[in-house]
Amino acid sequence: MKIRIRILFSAALALAAARLLGAEFDVRSFGASGDGASLDTAAVNRAIAATHDAGGGTVRFPAGRYLCYSIHLKSNVALFLDAGSVIVAAEPSEDGRTGYDPAEPNPADPYEDFGHSHWHNSLIWGEGLENIAVTGPGMIYGYGLSRGTGHARRDVLPEERKAGVKLPAARNSPLESEVKPGPFSYPNAADSLPPLVGNKAISLKECRNVVLRDFTIFHGGHFAILATAVDNWTCDGLKIDTNRDGIDFDCCRNVRVSNCTVNSPYDDGICPKSSFGLNRNRATENVTITNCQVSGYDEGTLLDGTYGRSIGDATGRIKLGTEANGGFKNITVSNCIFDHCRGLALEEVDGGQMEDIAISNLTMRDIVNAPVFIRLGARLRGPAPIGPSGARRIKIENVVASQVAPGQGILISGIPGYPVQDVALTHILITYRGGGTAAQAARSVPEYETSYPEPEKFGALPSYGVFARHVRGLSLDHVELRCEAADARPAIFLADASDAELDHVRAQRAGGSSVPALVVKSASNLFIRDCAGIPDGRWTSLDSGSW
């Protein structure tokens, strides 16, 4: 009782002082210990509530380790993490009594995985808020967060793996036998998580005027940051080294992501989406991603500076999609670096429209599949009726890539009857590792239009540099394609292409003079000018050709 009175008295003094001196609230004044052993959830939430009740202000976390379950953001409140401060995601208790807030019901569950369609089961979350911020040089450590797919406890960390530490088995949902999946296999027991388990470091839904700046997230769970229907959002100067997705903004408008470094070896780094998680379609639009770096180094090795590369098929990357019911409009990506990860991916497969996309000034090294992947598909994961997807007005320029895996080059694929339209690739220089075979050059590539859209799904393509199928208005201008080793495939393969133009293309014949640089299967209004080793010409209709 005395301890309780002392905490309340200290909180009252802190509230009075903050009102007099500028609305800054120290979580220790509300009972937080910061010792890394005692749960500080209640104290942190008291500080946030008091700040909100006072009309707004800043909740400060001095240096220390604050062990917490769900922290509830409120409007007009900023969290500031001092240097040396760490908010640590606690593990749910073994007795099933304490843990994170429950995942809220969502009628969209049949169309989205558990992670995309729930927000409250997170370390830090807010819904329906405005004027909120998390800033400062401190860290958020998702120690006890799940990475989804049944993993109810944290992964073994690299240093623990070396020491032979074993964790208890994952706990799947106790309602496993009652889960009745819909037509897209959602919900499902393996994807759902049991009560009290959290799976996101920061989760925001239907918020406005948000700033996330300067802090670090380590081991962030299924999503280090998931923002759904968050408008007027600035995300700047973050360092994220995590075990699944880094920064996902879903159905958001007016977003600025800048100066962020995201290492995510097992999933996507920076990922705009437009899912059906809101139970309605909403486009992601007016987005700027600039001055960022994405990678797939071993988890933790970005932050410790060792940059491990033991994961051969690391993900990392910047990707639009796959969730894309609402579509994408007015998106720019500029001045970004990709290292030891997958390449840029633009995926529209759920009935939305992707349009007005501008990509510029990218450098890439050690890319494990397609350096550029533009995909229309017909997965159409959403309630009927749902129309075909579309992609148009996409410009990609000033891209330099080296040490690119040989399986897939630049891969652009619409679907029959629905071409990718108006794509311009300008001033591109890509060096591939080579090694493709004559058998691969002769492959007939299936459409895979209803499959999950990933470049490796297509297998080794019949061209090493560019494969474009079902396209209208494709332009390759000042594009140079090279190989480090011999490759028996042509550099460029076009199929079902209309209004295509090749201008100043330099395509190395990596298999020798007997291997063509360009193969065409069904084209109309094809224009070629000043391309090394390929004759100039204009063809109104061409069934097949190779040069």
542 in a structural domain: yes
pLDDT tops 80 at residue 152: no
| Predicted confidence (pLDDT) at residue 156 exceeds the cutoff of 60 | no
CB 379 within 8 A of CB 350: yes
Query: Where is the domain boundary, 321, 341, 361?
Result: 341
Q: Are the CB atoms for 460 and 510 separated by under 8 Å?
A: no
Lowest-pLDDT range of 28-37, 154-163, 394-403:
154-163
Return the top range by mean pLDDT from 1-10, 15-24, 175-184, 425-434: 425-434
312 class by beta-carbon count within 10 Å (0-12 exposed, 13-18 middle, 19+ buried): exposed
Query: What is the reported pLDDT for 185?
Result: 82
pLDDT tier for residue 164 given thresholds of 50, 70 and 90: low
Distance CA 390, CA 423 (A): 12
- Residue 348 and residue 312 in one domain: no
Asked, for residue 60, whether it belongs to a domain, the answer is no
CA 494 – CA 232 distance, rounded (Å):
41
3-state DSSP call for residue 247? strand
Average pLDDT, the chain: 92
Separation in Å, CA 243 to CA 49, 146, 270, 304, 336: 31, 10, 13, 15, 21
Q: How confident is the model at residue 173 (pLDDT cuts 50, 70, 90)?
A: very low
With beta carbons less than 8 A apart as the criterion, state whether 504 and 536 touch. Answer: no
Q: Give the E-state strand segments of 64-112 in sequence order.
A: 64-68, 71-72, 77-81, 85-89
387 and 455, same domain (yes or no): yes
Band of residue 10 on the pLDDT scale cut at 50, 70, 90: low
Pair (179, 269) in one structural domain: yes
Please determine, for residue 177, whether its predicted confidence score (pLDDT) is greater than 50.
Answer: no
Percentage of residues in the chain with pLDDT exceeding 70?
Answer: 90
Considering the domain architecture, whether residues 531 and 382 belong to the same structural domain is answered as yes
Same domain, 188 and 217: yes
d(CA 261, CA 216): 10
Query: Which sign does the torsion angle of CA 401, 406, 407, 409 carry?
Result: positive
pLDDT at 258: 98
Same domain, 330 and 392: no
Domain total in the chain: 2
Q: Are residues 462 and 545 in the same domain?
A: yes
Q: How confident is the model at residue 13 (pLDDT cuts 50, 70, 90)?
A: low
pTM of the predicted structure, to 2 decimals: 0.92
DSSP assigned state of 74: -
What is the full DSSP assignment across 377-439? -----SSSS----EEEEEEEEEEEEEEE-SS--EEEE-BTTB-EEEEEEEEEEEEE-----HH
User: Would you state the structure tokens that stand for residue 282, as one six-digit string?
Assistant: 């909403």
pLDDT per position as a tens digit, 194-250 = 889 999 999 999 999 999 999 999 999 999 999 999 999 999 999 999 999 999 999
- Does the pLDDT of residue 18 top 80, yes or no? no
14 domain-assigned:
no
Task: State whether 250 and 153 are in the same domain.
Answer: yes
Question: Considering 311, 341, 371, which residue would you say is the last residue of a domain?
Answer: 341
- 510 shares a domain with 390: yes
Q: If you count them, how many residues does the chain have?
A: 547
Residue 184 included in any domain: yes
* Nearest residue to 148 (alpha-carbon basis) of 198, 203, 111, 106: 198
Instruction: Band the pLDDT of 179: cuts 50, 70, 90.
Output: low
- What pLDDT was estimated at residue 163? 66
Say if residue 329 is in the same domain as residue 433.
no
Query: Is residue 23 situated within a structural domain?
Result: no
Same structural domain, 265 and 121 = yes
Letter for the amino acid at 425?
Answer: L
Q: Is the pLDDT of residue 323 over 50?
A: yes
Judge whether residue 537 has pLDDT over 80. Answer: yes
Confidence of residue 182 (pLDDT cuts 50, 70, 90): confident
The verdict on residue 191 lying in a domain is yes
Residue 153 has pLDDT above 50, yes or no: no
Looking at the fold, whether 335 and 425 belong to one and the same domain comes out as: no
Neighbour count for residue 361 (Cβ, 10 Å) = 16
Inform me whether the pLDDT recorded for 6 exceeds 70: no
On the question of a cis peptide bond just before residue 187, with omega within 30 degrees of 0, the verdict is yes
Half-sphere exposure of residue 352: CA atoms within 13 angstroms, side-chain side: 31
Please report whether residue 28 resides in a domain.
no
Supply the range of the domain harboring residue 315.
100-341
Longest Cα separation, the chain: 90
CA torsion 27→33→39→45, rounded to 10°?
-10
pLDDT at residue 495 tops 70: yes
Q: Determine the distance from the C-alpha atom of residue 4 to the mean position of all C-alpha atoms in its chain, rounded to a whole number.
A: 44
* Mean predicted confidence (pLDDT) in 55-73: 98
Q: Point out the domain boundary residue: 341, 363, 390.
A: 341
Question: Does residue 88 fall inside a structural domain?
Answer: no
